[in-house]
Chain A
Amino acid sequence: MKKSNITLVVILILCSFLVTNNVYAQDRKGPPPNGERKGPPRGGHGPEQTKTLEEIGGYKIGETASNFSLKNVDGTMFSLSDIDNAKGYIVVFTCNECPFAKMYEDRLIQIHNQYAPEGYAVVAINPNINEGNTKENFKAMQSRSKEKEFPFVYLADEQHNVFPKYGAVRTPHVFLLDKERKVQYIGTIDDNARFANDVKVKYLENAIEALQKGEKPKVNFTKAIGCPVKAI
């Protein structure tokens, strides 16, 4: 009798433990990748789209990205060709004020510190630079760079003519180029903007490591929610 009571208690504790974990997991989970679509069937015939990704333009995987000359926060002009012995380039369109851009600043610093010595430097470009906006003007970029001690260049796309060539639509938006400046990965840095500790897939780092092995990234295009690039 005593023994079975203990068994019961143990089962109860186990049950509640499992369920608690389960609830916790459900609270935070995303839908399974490539999971089947649930919910009602898609209605309508041939949905319309105002502006397709293709119309937005920009580089496709495998295309060669053009070089540029943009002003860095230190006042000098910077080009991709200024990086000696580059094995690739981590071109990131980011800005000062976007909360998503801010959430990724520390991770960009970390990625630069890890991969720049291996030939893959972060090249940050602000497509939202606007002298009329005190939070996104050149001075604000300089203070942000100083405050966060960016170890990478932070460039101003003053003429707003570099981001449309790349096809950057949100911040942060990453374009990983190989040594020949061929675009090998486009998308987001990882799968959890808000909680670095809960990241499950590091899309960008996986892509860099694939290039290091002489392979093509397995995942070469991802999407994310980010702040819109404000074309002026």
Chain B
Amino acid sequence: MYKSILLIIPFLFFGFTTKTNSDMVFENVDELDIPIYDFDSLEPLLYTKTNKTHIINFWAMWCAPCVKELPVFQEYEKNNPDVELILVSLDFPEDIEKKLKPFLEKKRISSKVVLLSDPDANSWINKIDPNWSGAIPFTIIFNNKERSYHERSFEDVKDLEKVINTTINSK
């Protein structure tokens, strides 16, 4: 009997471990769904192995200059369907349904939005960019070879295009 219990135990743990892991993978079945990440699960999205242009923008509803520049990204994405754009919201998880989703709908933002919820920002800001003060908006433009960081908002699509061109295409 004891032997069989001993045999069962590892399997029990195995089962629970797998379950725990699947909790960590944030599913994005519904396109409108806004997945919640902590820094460790967000970090892989900040890098790519392809030469496709990626734009990651950190923003929040409470940040006025961020809200103002959202249409710039949206427009650039429309003109350049090849670009990979992710809007990383720093809003609060409990506001997703009642505030964030209606906000995006109202502003007609259809780009991919994820939410970063990881309280101790001091531990991850430097891992994204040691020069970032933590103020938003903050944007990373990159592909597999080039990379630039921008702690400011983009005035218009021309401004953004110019920066993307100097980052990705001029080298």
Q: B-contacting residues of A (Cβ < 8 Å)? A: 1, 4, 7-8, 11-12, 15-16, 19, 22-23, 26-35, 37-45, 47-53, 56, 97-99, 169-170, 187-188, 191-195, 198, 200-201, 203, 222-230
Contact = CB atoms under 8 A, between A and B. Distances in A.
A12 B131 contact: no
Nearest to B54: A43
B82 interface: no
Nearest to B65: A228
User: Chain B interface residue count: which class?
Assistant: 35 or more
B49 to A, nearest CB: 7
A188 B122 contact: yes
A39 B122 contact: no
A28 B117 CA distance: 9
A49 B125 contact: no
B48 interface: yes
B118 interface: yes
Contacts of B129: 47, 49
A224 to B, nearest CB: 5
16 contacts: A11-B9, A19-B20, A23-B20, A31-B120, A31-B124, A33-B120, A40-B47, A43-B48, A43-B146, A51-B150, A169-B133, A169-B135, A222-B122, A227-B62, A227-B63, A229-B135
B2 A4 contact: yes
Interface of B: 1-2, 5, 8-9, 12-13, 16, 19-20, 23-24, 38-40, 43-44, 46-49, 62-65, 90, 92, 118-127, 129, 131-137, 142-152, 163, 166-167
Given A19-B19, A30-B124, A228-B63, A47 B38 contact: no
Given A223-B132, A227-B62, A44 B147 contact: yes
Q: Which of B43, B123, B163 has the most CB of A within 10 A?
A: B123
5 shortest interchain CB distances as A-B pairs: A44-B147, A48-B148, A30-B120, A40-B47, A223-B134
Contacts of A44: 142, 145-147
B134 A4 contact: no
Contacts of A98: 62
Contacts of A187: 122
A43 B122 contact: no
Given A44-B145, A194-B119, A228 B135 contact: yes
Contacts of A41: 47
A4 to B, nearest CB: 4
Contacts of B43: 37-39
Given A15-B13, A56-B133, A170-B133, A31 B38 contact: yes
A227 B135 CA distance: 6
B1 to A, nearest CB: 4
Contacts of B136: 225, 228
A160 to B, nearest CB: 16
B50 to A, nearest CB: 10
B38 A30 contact: yes
Contacts of A19: 16, 19-20
A200 B62 CA distance: 26
A47 B168 CA distance: 11
A203 B122 CA distance: 10
A31 B39 contact: yes
A228 B47 CA distance: 26
A38 B5 CA distance: 37
A45 B145 CA distance: 7
A30 B123 contact: yes
Contacts of B48: 40, 43
A26 B167 CA distance: 36
Given A1-B1, A23-B20, A50 B152 contact: yes
